[in-house]
Amino acid sequence: MRNFKIYIDLTDTYLELMELDLRICRTPFEVMFLEADNPDDACNRVLERIIIEVMKESESLKNRILCEKIKRTIRIDRINPL
């Protein structure tokens, strides 16, 4: 498994994420470090990590809709292998 540095753009859902006061996603442009097999797997893990954090906050209908919106609007700007 390789390490990746991933630059994420969450500007479309940033205001909704700020209402939740999450541990991650505190800025509209995030940088995450993680371990994955390939760049596609790294992108999926980033999305999975964000959705898990949102759902830990509350499993309400509002958060489920937010997760679907995140899936559609998240942008991966750059992936750097380390």
pTM of the model: 0.89
| Residue-wise pLDDT tens digits, 5-38 | 999 999 999 999 999 888 888 899 999 999 999 9
| 3-state class (DSSP) for residue 8 | strand
Is residue 1 within 8 A of residue 36, CB to CB? The reply is yes
Rounded to whole angstroms, the Cα distance separating 79 from 29 reads 14
First to last CA, the chain: 11
pLDDT tens profile 33-42: 999 999 999 9
Strand bridging mode 2-9 / 29-36: antiparallel
User: 51 and 44 in contact (C-beta within 8 Å)?
Assistant: no
